Chain A
Protein backbone atom coordinates (compact mmCIF):
# COMPACT_ATOMS: atom_id res chain seq x y z
CA UNK A 1 0.00 0.00 0.00
CA UNK A 2 2.67 2.38 1.03
CA UNK A 3 4.66 1.41 -1.97
CA UNK A 4 1.83 2.24 -4.27
CA UNK A 5 1.44 5.63 -2.74
CA UNK A 6 5.04 6.64 -3.23
CA UNK A 7 4.87 5.38 -6.77
CA UNK A 8 1.91 7.60 -7.30
CA UNK A 9 3.44 10.56 -5.57
CA UNK A 10 6.70 10.43 -7.47
CA UNK A 11 5.42 11.35 -10.93
CA UNK A 12 3.41 14.14 -9.39
CA UNK A 13 6.50 15.74 -7.94
CA UNK A 14 8.32 15.26 -11.21
CA UNK A 15 5.56 16.86 -13.16
CA UNK A 16 5.51 19.94 -11.00
CA UNK A 17 9.24 20.29 -11.20
CA UNK A 18 9.38 19.80 -14.93
CA UNK A 19 6.68 22.22 -15.84
CA UNK A 20 9.12 25.00 -15.18
CA UNK A 21 11.88 23.14 -16.97
CA UNK A 22 9.88 22.68 -20.15
CA UNK A 23 9.18 26.36 -20.49
CA UNK A 24 12.76 27.31 -19.72
CA UNK A 25 14.01 24.89 -22.35
CA UNK A 26 11.48 26.11 -24.88
CA UNK A 27 12.64 29.64 -24.18
CA UNK A 28 16.23 28.57 -24.85
CA UNK A 29 15.22 26.96 -28.08
CA UNK A 30 13.06 29.80 -29.35
CA UNK A 31 15.75 32.00 -30.98
CA UNK A 32 16.89 29.03 -33.06
CA UNK A 33 13.30 28.09 -33.90
CA UNK A 34 12.60 31.63 -35.09
CA UNK A 35 15.79 31.80 -37.15
CA UNK A 36 15.12 28.49 -38.85
CA UNK A 37 11.56 29.56 -39.52
CA UNK A 38 12.66 32.78 -41.19
CA UNK A 39 15.70 31.56 -43.10
CA UNK A 40 14.70 27.96 -43.90
CA UNK A 41 10.94 27.54 -43.77
CA UNK A 42 9.81 30.86 -45.25
CA UNK A 43 11.85 30.36 -48.46
CA UNK A 44 10.02 27.05 -48.98
CA UNK A 45 6.85 29.04 -49.66
CA UNK A 46 8.85 30.78 -52.35
CA UNK A 47 9.01 27.57 -54.36
CA UNK A 48 5.69 28.63 -55.93
CA UNK A 49 7.65 31.26 -57.85
CA UNK A 50 8.64 28.42 -60.17
CA UNK A 51 5.06 28.42 -61.45
CA UNK A 52 4.83 32.17 -61.82
CA UNK A 53 5.94 34.85 -64.17
CA UNK A 54 7.65 36.61 -61.30
CA UNK A 55 7.70 40.40 -61.26
CA UNK A 56 9.68 42.22 -58.59
CA UNK A 57 7.10 44.98 -58.29
CA UNK A 58 4.20 42.55 -57.87
CA UNK A 59 5.92 40.19 -55.45
CA UNK A 60 5.33 36.57 -54.64
CA UNK A 61 1.59 36.71 -54.11
CA UNK A 62 0.45 38.89 -57.00
CA UNK A 63 2.61 37.71 -59.87
CA UNK A 64 0.58 35.83 -62.50
CA UNK A 65 0.68 32.04 -62.51
CA UNK A 66 1.87 30.45 -65.74
CA UNK A 67 1.65 26.75 -64.97
CA UNK A 68 4.61 24.75 -66.21
CA UNK A 69 5.85 27.35 -68.70
CA UNK A 70 9.06 28.00 -66.76
CA UNK A 71 9.84 24.30 -66.69
CA UNK A 72 9.15 23.92 -70.38
CA UNK A 73 11.39 26.84 -71.18
CA UNK A 74 14.14 25.42 -68.97
CA UNK A 75 13.96 21.85 -70.22
CA UNK A 76 13.82 22.79 -73.89
CA UNK A 77 16.64 25.33 -73.69
CA UNK A 78 19.88 24.29 -75.41
CA UNK A 79 21.92 24.29 -72.26
CA UNK A 80 19.62 22.27 -70.02
CA UNK A 81 20.91 18.80 -70.84
CA UNK A 82 24.44 20.05 -70.50
CA UNK A 83 23.70 21.62 -67.12
CA UNK A 84 22.11 18.44 -65.81
CA UNK A 85 24.91 16.28 -67.22
CA UNK A 86 27.56 18.47 -65.61
CA UNK A 87 25.79 18.78 -62.28
CA UNK A 88 25.09 15.08 -61.85
CA UNK A 89 28.39 13.99 -63.38
CA UNK A 90 30.51 16.14 -61.08
CA UNK A 91 28.48 15.19 -58.03
CA UNK A 92 28.75 11.48 -58.76
CA UNK A 93 32.49 11.82 -59.20
CA UNK A 94 32.77 13.76 -55.93
CA UNK A 95 30.66 11.23 -54.04
CA UNK A 96 32.37 8.09 -55.35
CA UNK A 97 35.99 9.18 -55.56
CA UNK A 98 35.65 11.33 -52.45
CA UNK A 99 34.45 8.36 -50.44
CA UNK A 100 37.08 5.98 -51.79
CA UNK A 101 39.84 8.50 -51.05
CA UNK A 102 38.57 9.21 -47.55
CA UNK A 103 38.20 5.53 -46.65
CA UNK A 104 41.64 4.69 -48.02
CA UNK A 105 43.30 7.53 -46.12
CA UNK A 106 41.49 6.50 -42.94
CA UNK A 107 42.53 2.86 -43.34
CA UNK A 108 46.14 3.85 -43.95
CA UNK A 109 46.12 6.10 -40.90
CA UNK A 110 44.97 3.11 -38.91
CA UNK A 111 47.82 1.04 -40.35
CA UNK A 112 50.40 3.64 -39.36
CA UNK A 113 49.25 3.33 -35.78
CA UNK A 114 51.78 5.85 -34.39
CA UNK A 115 49.70 8.52 -32.69
CA UNK A 116 52.12 11.37 -33.35
CA UNK A 117 52.33 10.61 -37.06
CA UNK A 118 48.56 10.26 -37.42
CA UNK A 119 48.10 13.59 -35.66
CA UNK A 120 50.56 15.28 -38.03
CA UNK A 121 48.90 13.79 -41.11
CA UNK A 122 45.46 14.75 -39.90
CA UNK A 123 46.35 18.34 -39.11
CA UNK A 124 48.14 18.82 -42.42
CA UNK A 125 45.28 17.37 -44.40
CA UNK A 126 42.92 19.70 -42.60
CA UNK A 127 44.69 22.82 -43.84
CA UNK A 128 42.83 23.14 -47.18
CA UNK A 129 39.52 22.92 -45.34
CA UNK A 130 40.22 26.35 -43.87
CA UNK A 131 40.64 28.11 -47.19
CA UNK A 132 37.83 29.86 -48.97
CA UNK A 133 37.22 28.91 -52.59
CA UNK A 134 38.58 32.30 -53.52
CA UNK A 135 41.94 31.61 -51.94
CA UNK A 136 41.87 28.17 -53.55
CA UNK A 137 41.28 29.86 -56.90
CA UNK A 138 44.48 31.87 -56.33
CA UNK A 139 46.29 28.60 -55.72
CA UNK A 140 44.97 27.01 -58.90
CA UNK A 141 45.91 30.19 -60.70
CA UNK A 142 49.51 29.75 -59.57
CA UNK A 143 49.42 26.15 -60.77
CA UNK A 144 47.64 26.47 -64.11
CA UNK A 145 48.40 29.98 -65.31
CA UNK A 146 49.75 29.86 -68.87
CA UNK A 147 52.91 31.96 -68.59
CA UNK A 148 54.10 31.50 -65.00
CA UNK A 149 52.06 28.56 -63.73
CA UNK A 150 53.96 25.77 -62.05
CA UNK A 151 52.49 22.97 -64.16
CA UNK A 152 53.28 24.74 -67.40
CA UNK A 153 56.77 25.47 -66.11
CA UNK A 154 57.28 21.79 -65.45
CA UNK A 155 55.96 20.84 -68.89
CA UNK A 156 58.24 23.35 -70.55
CA UNK A 157 61.27 22.28 -68.55
CA UNK A 158 60.76 18.80 -69.96
CA UNK A 159 60.58 20.31 -73.41
CA UNK A 160 56.83 20.19 -73.90
CA UNK A 161 54.37 22.82 -75.07
CA UNK A 162 52.50 24.85 -72.47
CA UNK A 163 48.82 24.09 -72.02
CA UNK A 164 46.32 26.90 -71.91
CA UNK A 165 44.20 25.45 -69.10
CA UNK A 166 41.86 28.40 -68.86
CA UNK A 167 40.63 28.05 -72.41
CA UNK A 168 40.46 24.28 -72.76
CA UNK A 169 37.54 22.68 -70.99
CA UNK A 170 38.56 19.07 -71.17
CA UNK A 171 41.00 19.34 -68.26
CA UNK A 172 38.49 20.77 -65.84
CA UNK A 173 36.49 17.70 -64.82
CA UNK A 174 39.73 16.22 -63.50
CA UNK A 175 40.95 19.46 -61.93
CA UNK A 176 37.68 20.21 -60.17
CA UNK A 177 37.31 16.65 -58.89
CA UNK A 178 40.83 16.55 -57.51
CA UNK A 179 40.51 19.99 -55.89
CA UNK A 180 37.14 19.12 -54.39
CA UNK A 181 38.49 15.93 -52.82
CA UNK A 182 41.68 17.70 -51.75
CA UNK A 183 39.75 20.36 -49.86
CA UNK A 184 37.62 17.94 -47.87
CA UNK A 185 39.91 14.93 -47.44
CA UNK A 186 40.95 15.93 -43.91
CA UNK A 187 37.41 16.23 -42.66
CA UNK A 188 36.00 13.20 -44.45
CA UNK A 189 38.82 10.83 -43.57
CA UNK A 190 38.49 11.88 -39.93
CA UNK A 191 34.89 10.64 -39.87
CA UNK A 192 35.94 7.23 -41.19
CA UNK A 193 39.02 7.10 -38.98
CA UNK A 194 36.78 7.63 -35.97
CA UNK A 195 34.59 4.75 -37.12
CA UNK A 196 37.62 2.49 -37.59
CA UNK A 197 38.91 3.31 -34.10
CA UNK A 198 35.62 2.16 -32.65
CA UNK A 199 36.12 -1.36 -34.04
CA UNK A 200 37.16 -3.73 -31.29
CA UNK A 201 40.84 -4.78 -31.65
CA UNK A 202 39.89 -8.28 -30.55
CA UNK A 203 38.21 -8.82 -33.88
CA UNK A 204 41.48 -8.19 -35.68
CA UNK A 205 43.41 -10.35 -33.24
CA UNK A 206 41.16 -13.33 -33.67
CA UNK A 207 41.23 -12.82 -37.42
CA UNK A 208 45.03 -12.91 -37.30
CA UNK A 209 44.92 -16.15 -35.35
CA UNK A 210 42.69 -17.58 -38.03
CA UNK A 211 45.34 -16.65 -40.53
CA UNK A 212 43.73 -13.66 -42.18
CA UNK A 213 46.00 -11.36 -44.14
CA UNK A 214 45.74 -7.58 -44.21
CA UNK A 215 43.43 -7.46 -47.17
CA UNK A 216 41.08 -10.09 -45.78
CA UNK A 217 40.83 -8.11 -42.55
CA UNK A 218 40.01 -4.99 -44.51
CA UNK A 219 37.44 -6.80 -46.60
CA UNK A 220 35.69 -8.73 -43.84
CA UNK A 221 36.11 -6.55 -40.75
CA UNK A 222 36.87 -2.91 -41.58
CA UNK A 223 34.63 -2.47 -44.58
CA UNK A 224 31.50 -3.98 -43.00
CA UNK A 225 32.01 -1.73 -39.99
CA UNK A 226 32.29 1.37 -42.17
CA UNK A 227 29.33 0.39 -44.29
CA UNK A 228 26.60 2.22 -42.43
CA UNK A 229 28.67 5.43 -42.17
CA UNK A 230 29.39 5.22 -45.88
CA UNK A 231 25.75 4.65 -46.77
CA UNK A 232 24.43 7.41 -44.52
CA UNK A 233 26.88 9.96 -45.90
CA UNK A 234 26.03 8.86 -49.44
CA UNK A 235 22.29 9.22 -48.87
CA UNK A 236 22.90 12.74 -47.58
CA UNK A 237 25.02 13.50 -50.61
CA UNK A 238 22.42 12.15 -53.01
CA UNK A 239 19.95 14.72 -51.68
CA UNK A 240 22.30 17.39 -52.95
CA UNK A 241 23.01 15.77 -56.30
CA UNK A 242 21.46 18.72 -58.16
CA UNK A 243 23.28 21.25 -56.02
CA UNK A 244 26.90 22.25 -56.32
CA UNK A 245 29.36 24.37 -54.49
CA UNK A 246 28.99 27.67 -56.28
CA UNK A 247 32.46 28.86 -55.26
CA UNK A 248 34.19 25.83 -56.73
CA UNK A 249 32.48 26.08 -60.09
CA UNK A 250 32.52 29.83 -60.41
CA UNK A 251 35.87 30.97 -59.01
CA UNK A 252 38.21 28.17 -60.00
CA UNK A 253 37.56 28.39 -63.77
CA UNK A 254 37.58 32.19 -63.28
CA UNK A 255 34.22 32.49 -65.02
CA UNK A 256 36.01 31.92 -68.29
CA UNK A 257 33.52 31.75 -71.14
CA UNK A 258 35.55 29.15 -73.02
CA UNK A 259 35.12 26.65 -70.18
CA UNK A 260 31.39 27.10 -69.69
CA UNK A 261 30.40 23.91 -71.56
CA UNK A 262 32.49 21.90 -69.14
CA UNK A 263 31.96 23.65 -65.83
CA UNK A 264 28.51 25.22 -65.93
CA UNK A 265 26.20 23.63 -63.35
CA UNK A 266 22.64 24.39 -62.22
CA UNK A 267 23.85 26.57 -59.35
CA UNK A 268 26.06 28.78 -61.48
CA UNK A 269 23.19 29.06 -63.97
CA UNK A 270 20.75 30.12 -61.24
CA UNK A 271 23.12 32.58 -59.63
CA UNK A 272 23.97 34.11 -62.97
CA UNK A 273 20.32 34.76 -63.67
CA UNK A 274 19.70 36.25 -60.23
CA UNK A 275 22.67 38.58 -60.54
CA UNK A 276 22.31 39.66 -64.12
CA UNK A 277 19.12 40.36 -66.00
CA UNK A 278 18.15 36.69 -66.34
CA UNK A 279 14.73 35.21 -65.95
CA UNK A 280 13.82 34.70 -62.29
CA UNK A 281 10.97 32.33 -63.14
CA UNK A 282 13.18 29.94 -65.10
CA UNK A 283 15.93 29.92 -62.51
CA UNK A 284 13.45 29.23 -59.75
CA UNK A 285 12.17 26.34 -61.86
CA UNK A 286 15.74 25.05 -61.83
CA UNK A 287 15.83 25.64 -58.06
CA UNK A 288 12.54 23.82 -57.69
CA UNK A 289 14.06 20.79 -59.43
CA UNK A 290 17.05 20.95 -57.10
CA UNK A 291 14.90 20.99 -53.97
CA UNK A 292 12.09 18.61 -54.90
CA UNK A 293 14.06 16.07 -56.90
CA UNK A 294 16.82 16.08 -54.28
CA UNK A 295 14.31 15.47 -51.52
CA UNK A 296 12.50 12.73 -53.43
CA UNK A 297 15.84 11.04 -54.13
CA UNK A 298 16.83 11.09 -50.46
CA UNK A 299 13.52 9.62 -49.35
CA UNK A 300 13.59 7.00 -52.12
CA UNK A 301 17.19 5.93 -51.50
CA UNK A 302 16.53 5.80 -47.81
CA UNK A 303 13.47 3.64 -48.41
CA UNK A 304 15.46 1.19 -50.52
CA UNK A 305 18.32 1.09 -48.00
CA UNK A 306 15.89 0.55 -45.17
CA UNK A 307 14.39 -2.47 -46.89
CA UNK A 308 17.80 -4.05 -47.38
CA UNK A 309 19.50 -3.05 -44.17
CA UNK A 310 17.57 -1.27 -41.46
CA UNK A 311 20.62 -0.07 -39.52
CA UNK A 312 22.16 1.82 -42.40
CA UNK A 313 19.17 4.00 -43.16
CA UNK A 314 19.25 7.69 -42.45
CA UNK A 315 15.82 7.98 -40.81
Chain B
Protein backbone atom coordinates (compact mmCIF):
# COMPACT_ATOMS: atom_id res chain seq x y z
CA UNK B 1 0.00 0.00 0.00
CA UNK B 2 2.75 2.42 0.91
CA UNK B 3 4.60 1.54 -2.23
CA UNK B 4 1.45 2.18 -4.21
CA UNK B 5 1.05 5.62 -2.70
CA UNK B 6 4.66 6.43 -3.41
CA UNK B 7 4.20 5.38 -7.01
CA UNK B 8 1.18 7.59 -7.32
CA UNK B 9 3.01 10.63 -6.03
CA UNK B 10 5.97 9.87 -8.25
CA UNK B 11 3.88 9.60 -11.41
CA UNK B 12 1.98 12.74 -10.48
CA UNK B 13 5.24 14.61 -10.07
CA UNK B 14 6.59 13.37 -13.38
CA UNK B 15 3.37 14.37 -15.12
CA UNK B 16 3.59 17.81 -13.56
CA UNK B 17 7.19 18.26 -14.61
CA UNK B 18 6.52 17.27 -18.21
CA UNK B 19 3.47 19.50 -18.41
CA UNK B 20 5.42 22.40 -16.98
CA UNK B 21 8.09 21.90 -19.65
CA UNK B 22 5.49 21.81 -22.40
CA UNK B 23 3.70 24.84 -20.99
CA UNK B 24 6.98 26.75 -20.71
CA UNK B 25 7.83 25.93 -24.30
CA UNK B 26 4.56 27.59 -25.22
CA UNK B 27 5.25 30.61 -23.05
CA UNK B 28 8.95 31.30 -23.56
CA UNK B 29 8.72 32.39 -27.22
CA UNK B 30 6.41 35.17 -26.08
CA UNK B 31 8.94 36.24 -23.47
CA UNK B 32 11.69 36.25 -26.10
CA UNK B 33 9.71 38.39 -28.52
CA UNK B 34 8.55 40.83 -25.89
CA UNK B 35 11.95 41.22 -24.29
CA UNK B 36 13.64 41.64 -27.67
CA UNK B 37 11.24 44.44 -28.50
CA UNK B 38 12.43 46.33 -25.41
CA UNK B 39 16.10 45.61 -25.96
CA UNK B 40 18.36 48.08 -27.74
CA UNK B 41 19.53 47.14 -31.20
CA UNK B 42 23.19 47.18 -30.26
CA UNK B 43 22.66 44.60 -27.51
CA UNK B 44 20.96 42.21 -29.90
CA UNK B 45 23.78 42.48 -32.39
CA UNK B 46 26.36 42.00 -29.66
CA UNK B 47 24.71 39.27 -27.56
CA UNK B 48 21.89 37.96 -29.72
CA UNK B 49 18.32 37.30 -28.67
CA UNK B 50 17.67 36.37 -25.07
CA UNK B 51 15.07 35.80 -22.42
CA UNK B 52 15.40 39.13 -20.63
CA UNK B 53 15.63 42.63 -22.05
CA UNK B 54 19.11 44.10 -21.77
CA UNK B 55 19.40 47.85 -21.81
CA UNK B 56 15.66 48.51 -21.55
CA UNK B 57 14.48 50.96 -24.19
CA UNK B 58 11.35 51.97 -26.05
CA UNK B 59 13.29 52.90 -29.19
CA UNK B 60 11.87 50.07 -31.25
CA UNK B 61 8.28 51.09 -30.54
CA UNK B 62 9.04 54.74 -31.20
CA UNK B 63 10.61 53.82 -34.50
CA UNK B 64 7.71 51.62 -35.57
CA UNK B 65 5.16 54.27 -34.63
CA UNK B 66 6.97 57.12 -36.35
CA UNK B 67 8.22 55.52 -39.49
CA UNK B 68 5.12 53.95 -40.87
CA UNK B 69 1.71 55.33 -41.52
CA UNK B 70 1.31 51.98 -43.24
CA UNK B 71 1.13 50.25 -39.88
CA UNK B 72 -1.76 52.46 -38.81
CA UNK B 73 -3.54 51.85 -42.11
CA UNK B 74 -3.12 48.12 -41.60
CA UNK B 75 -4.55 48.44 -38.08
CA UNK B 76 -7.55 50.31 -39.40
CA UNK B 77 -8.24 47.71 -42.07
CA UNK B 78 -7.83 44.80 -39.66
CA UNK B 79 -10.01 46.32 -36.96
CA UNK B 80 -12.68 47.09 -39.56
CA UNK B 81 -12.73 43.58 -41.04
CA UNK B 82 -12.55 41.95 -37.60
CA UNK B 83 -15.44 43.93 -36.12
CA UNK B 84 -17.76 43.91 -39.12
CA UNK B 85 -16.85 40.38 -40.19
CA UNK B 86 -17.17 38.80 -36.75
CA UNK B 87 -20.53 40.35 -35.99
CA UNK B 88 -22.06 39.32 -39.29
CA UNK B 89 -20.43 35.93 -39.12
CA UNK B 90 -21.65 35.13 -35.61
CA UNK B 91 -25.15 36.24 -36.54
CA UNK B 92 -25.14 34.01 -39.60
CA UNK B 93 -23.70 31.07 -37.65
CA UNK B 94 -26.32 31.36 -34.91
CA UNK B 95 -29.12 31.51 -37.45
CA UNK B 96 -27.76 28.48 -39.30
CA UNK B 97 -27.00 26.38 -36.23
CA UNK B 98 -30.50 26.66 -34.78
CA UNK B 99 -32.51 25.00 -37.58
CA UNK B 100 -29.79 22.38 -37.93
CA UNK B 101 -30.14 21.53 -34.25
CA UNK B 102 -33.92 21.03 -34.48
CA UNK B 103 -34.62 17.38 -35.23
CA UNK B 104 -38.24 18.22 -36.10
CA UNK B 105 -37.27 20.74 -38.78
CA UNK B 106 -38.40 19.33 -42.08
CA UNK B 107 -35.17 19.74 -44.05
CA UNK B 108 -32.77 19.26 -41.14
CA UNK B 109 -31.10 16.15 -42.56
CA UNK B 110 -30.75 17.49 -46.08
CA UNK B 111 -29.14 20.73 -44.99
CA UNK B 112 -26.90 19.01 -42.47
CA UNK B 113 -25.55 16.92 -45.30
CA UNK B 114 -25.33 19.97 -47.56
CA UNK B 115 -22.97 21.61 -45.07
CA UNK B 116 -21.18 18.48 -43.95
CA UNK B 117 -20.18 17.54 -47.49
CA UNK B 118 -18.12 20.70 -47.85
CA UNK B 119 -15.95 19.56 -44.94
CA UNK B 120 -14.99 16.46 -46.90
CA UNK B 121 -14.73 17.81 -50.41
CA UNK B 122 -13.74 21.16 -51.84
CA UNK B 123 -12.82 22.71 -55.15
CA UNK B 124 -9.47 23.87 -53.89
CA UNK B 125 -7.38 26.97 -54.32
CA UNK B 126 -7.32 27.47 -58.08
CA UNK B 127 -11.08 27.39 -58.78
CA UNK B 128 -11.73 29.59 -55.74
CA UNK B 129 -9.19 32.08 -57.00
CA UNK B 130 -10.72 32.19 -60.47
CA UNK B 131 -14.24 32.46 -59.07
CA UNK B 132 -13.44 35.34 -56.75
CA UNK B 133 -11.20 37.30 -59.08
CA UNK B 134 -12.81 36.68 -62.50
CA UNK B 135 -16.48 36.02 -61.83
CA UNK B 136 -17.26 37.82 -58.57
CA UNK B 137 -14.78 40.61 -59.39
CA UNK B 138 -13.86 41.09 -55.76
CA UNK B 139 -10.18 41.71 -56.36
CA UNK B 140 -8.90 44.77 -54.50
CA UNK B 141 -12.29 45.17 -52.86
CA UNK B 142 -12.23 45.19 -49.06
CA UNK B 143 -15.19 42.79 -49.11
CA UNK B 144 -12.84 40.03 -50.23
CA UNK B 145 -11.26 40.19 -46.78
CA UNK B 146 -14.66 39.66 -45.14
CA UNK B 147 -16.97 37.51 -47.26
CA UNK B 148 -14.99 34.27 -47.80
CA UNK B 149 -14.44 33.87 -44.05
CA UNK B 150 -17.94 34.74 -43.02
CA UNK B 151 -19.40 31.29 -42.87
CA UNK B 152 -17.55 28.38 -41.32
CA UNK B 153 -19.12 24.94 -41.23
CA UNK B 154 -17.00 23.72 -38.33
CA UNK B 155 -18.11 26.62 -36.10
CA UNK B 156 -21.72 26.04 -37.08
CA UNK B 157 -21.58 22.39 -36.08
CA UNK B 158 -19.91 23.30 -32.79
CA UNK B 159 -22.76 25.67 -32.00
CA UNK B 160 -25.30 23.13 -33.22
CA UNK B 161 -24.10 20.68 -30.55
CA UNK B 162 -24.69 23.41 -27.95
CA UNK B 163 -28.20 24.10 -29.10
CA UNK B 164 -28.96 20.38 -29.12
CA UNK B 165 -28.24 20.20 -25.41
CA UNK B 166 -31.01 22.61 -24.57
CA UNK B 167 -34.07 20.61 -23.55
CA UNK B 168 -36.71 20.69 -26.26
CA UNK B 169 -39.33 21.69 -23.69
CA UNK B 170 -37.85 25.18 -23.79
CA UNK B 171 -38.80 25.99 -27.35
CA UNK B 172 -41.89 23.79 -27.33
CA UNK B 173 -43.36 25.86 -24.53
CA UNK B 174 -42.48 29.07 -26.32
CA UNK B 175 -44.07 27.83 -29.51
CA UNK B 176 -47.30 27.05 -27.69
CA UNK B 177 -47.28 30.59 -26.39
CA UNK B 178 -47.11 31.69 -30.00
CA UNK B 179 -43.52 32.91 -30.15
CA UNK B 180 -41.95 33.03 -33.60
CA UNK B 181 -38.77 31.15 -34.40
CA UNK B 182 -36.63 34.30 -34.47
CA UNK B 183 -37.93 35.29 -31.07
CA UNK B 184 -37.29 31.80 -29.68
CA UNK B 185 -33.77 31.79 -31.04
CA UNK B 186 -32.67 35.20 -29.83
CA UNK B 187 -34.60 35.38 -26.56
CA UNK B 188 -34.37 31.79 -25.33
CA UNK B 189 -31.76 29.71 -27.16
CA UNK B 190 -28.93 32.23 -27.48
CA UNK B 191 -29.07 33.47 -23.87
CA UNK B 192 -28.85 29.84 -22.77
CA UNK B 193 -25.76 29.18 -24.88
CA UNK B 194 -23.51 32.08 -23.94
CA UNK B 195 -20.48 29.80 -23.64
CA UNK B 196 -20.97 28.39 -27.10
CA UNK B 197 -21.58 31.75 -28.75
CA UNK B 198 -18.56 33.24 -26.99
CA UNK B 199 -16.36 30.39 -28.21
CA UNK B 200 -17.54 30.88 -31.78
CA UNK B 201 -17.03 34.63 -31.52
CA UNK B 202 -13.47 34.10 -30.36
CA UNK B 203 -12.73 31.72 -33.23
CA UNK B 204 -14.19 34.05 -35.80
CA UNK B 205 -12.37 37.08 -34.42
CA UNK B 206 -9.15 35.10 -34.48
CA UNK B 207 -9.70 34.13 -38.11
CA UNK B 208 -10.26 37.74 -39.15
CA UNK B 209 -7.47 39.18 -37.04
CA UNK B 210 -4.89 36.69 -38.30
CA UNK B 211 -6.02 36.95 -41.92
CA UNK B 212 -3.23 37.21 -44.48
CA UNK B 213 -4.02 34.60 -47.13
CA UNK B 214 -6.89 36.49 -48.77
CA UNK B 215 -4.78 39.61 -48.70
CA UNK B 216 -1.89 37.84 -50.40
CA UNK B 217 -4.17 36.46 -53.09
CA UNK B 218 -6.55 39.30 -53.86
CA UNK B 219 -5.11 42.58 -52.63
CA UNK B 220 -2.58 44.36 -54.78
CA UNK B 221 -3.74 47.68 -53.37
CA UNK B 222 -0.94 48.82 -51.05
CA UNK B 223 -3.27 50.90 -48.89
CA UNK B 224 -5.76 48.19 -47.99
CA UNK B 225 -3.86 45.35 -46.38
CA UNK B 226 -4.28 43.48 -43.13
CA UNK B 227 -1.92 43.73 -40.21
CA UNK B 228 -0.55 40.20 -40.56
CA UNK B 229 0.08 40.67 -44.26
CA UNK B 230 1.87 43.93 -43.57
CA UNK B 231 4.02 42.08 -41.08
CA UNK B 232 4.84 39.37 -43.60
CA UNK B 233 5.76 41.95 -46.22
CA UNK B 234 8.15 43.70 -43.88
CA UNK B 235 9.78 40.38 -43.13
CA UNK B 236 10.17 39.40 -46.76
CA UNK B 237 11.45 42.86 -47.69
CA UNK B 238 14.17 42.52 -45.10
CA UNK B 239 15.02 39.03 -46.30
CA UNK B 240 15.12 40.23 -49.90
CA UNK B 241 17.58 43.01 -49.18
CA UNK B 242 19.64 40.76 -46.95
CA UNK B 243 19.82 38.08 -49.61
CA UNK B 244 20.36 40.72 -52.29
CA UNK B 245 17.60 39.33 -54.38
CA UNK B 246 16.39 41.76 -56.99
CA UNK B 247 12.76 41.60 -56.00
CA UNK B 248 10.48 44.27 -57.36
CA UNK B 249 8.96 44.85 -53.94
CA UNK B 250 12.29 45.59 -52.36
CA UNK B 251 12.98 48.30 -54.90
CA UNK B 252 10.11 50.43 -53.64
CA UNK B 253 11.51 50.57 -50.18
CA UNK B 254 14.20 52.81 -48.83
CA UNK B 255 16.80 50.42 -47.49
CA UNK B 256 17.98 52.75 -44.74
CA UNK B 257 14.44 52.84 -43.38
CA UNK B 258 14.18 49.10 -42.89
CA UNK B 259 13.06 48.16 -39.43
CA UNK B 260 15.88 46.41 -37.67
CA UNK B 261 15.74 43.31 -35.50
CA UNK B 262 14.14 44.94 -32.46
CA UNK B 263 11.63 46.93 -34.45
CA UNK B 264 10.46 43.74 -36.09
CA UNK B 265 9.78 42.21 -32.73
CA UNK B 266 7.98 45.35 -31.59
CA UNK B 267 5.74 45.07 -34.62
CA UNK B 268 5.16 41.45 -33.78
CA UNK B 269 3.99 42.40 -30.30
CA UNK B 270 1.71 45.06 -31.71
CA UNK B 271 0.23 42.61 -34.20
CA UNK B 272 -0.34 39.70 -31.85
CA UNK B 273 -0.96 41.58 -28.60
CA UNK B 274 -4.61 42.57 -29.06
CA UNK B 275 -5.63 38.98 -29.73
CA UNK B 276 -3.94 37.91 -26.51
CA UNK B 277 -6.05 40.40 -24.57
CA UNK B 278 -9.16 39.10 -26.27
CA UNK B 279 -8.15 35.57 -25.33
CA UNK B 280 -7.75 36.48 -21.67
CA UNK B 281 -11.17 38.08 -21.73
CA UNK B 282 -12.83 35.04 -23.29
CA UNK B 283 -10.81 32.51 -21.40
CA UNK B 284 -13.42 31.42 -18.89
CA UNK B 285 -15.81 30.41 -21.66
CA UNK B 286 -13.26 29.04 -23.96
CA UNK B 287 -11.85 25.84 -22.51
CA UNK B 288 -15.32 24.86 -21.37
CA UNK B 289 -16.76 25.69 -24.75
CA UNK B 290 -14.56 23.49 -26.84
CA UNK B 291 -15.21 20.27 -25.00
CA UNK B 292 -18.65 19.88 -26.47
CA UNK B 293 -17.79 20.04 -30.11
CA UNK B 294 -18.06 16.69 -31.72
CA UNK B 295 -17.38 16.41 -35.42
CA UNK B 296 -19.38 13.31 -36.07
CA UNK B 297 -22.04 13.86 -38.76
Q: Enumerate chain A interface residues (CB-CB to B < 8 A).
A: 17-18, 20-22, 24-26, 28-29, 31-33, 35-36, 38-47, 49, 54, 56, 59-60, 105, 108-109, 111-113, 117, 119-128, 130-135, 137-139, 141-143, 145, 147-150, 152-153, 182, 185-187, 190-191, 193-194, 197, 213-214, 232-233, 236, 239, 246-247, 251, 254-256, 267, 270-271, 274-275, 280, 283-284, 287-288, 290-291, 294-295, 298, 314-315
Contacts and interface: CB of A to CB of B under 8 A. Distances in A.
Contact of A254 (B22, B48, B118, B235): B235
16 contacts: A21-B105, A21-B181, A28-B182, A35-B150, A43-B123, A56-B134, A112-B19, A138-B235, A138-B264, A138-B265, A153-B47, A197-B291, A214-B7, A239-B120, A256-B239, A295-B120
Contacts of A298: 120
Given A139-B33, A153-B48, A46 B131 contact: yes
B181 A24 contact: yes
Interface stretch (B53-61, B67-75, B94-102, B162-170): B94-102
B244 interface: no
Contact of B105 (A25, A105, A194, A280): A25
B33 A138 contact: yes
A26 B92 contact: no
Given A130-B272, A182-B26, A190 B287 contact: yes
B26 A134 contact: no
Contacts of A125: 22-23, 26
Size bracket of the B interface = 35 or more
Contact of B33 (A123, A124, A142): A142
B165 to A, nearest CB: 14
B206 interface: yes
Nearest to A298: B120
Nearest to B115: A36
A314 B283 contact: no
Given A36-B115, A108-B18, A142-B29, 14 more contacts: A44-B123, A45-B127, A46-B130, A121-B23, A137-B232, A145-B49, A147-B45, A147-B48, A152-B48, A153-B50, A185-B22, A191-B291, A191-B293, A255-B239
Interface in B116-149: 116, 118-131, 134, 136, 147-148
Nearest to A186: B26
Given A108-B15, A135-B231, A271-B125, A32 B106 contact: no
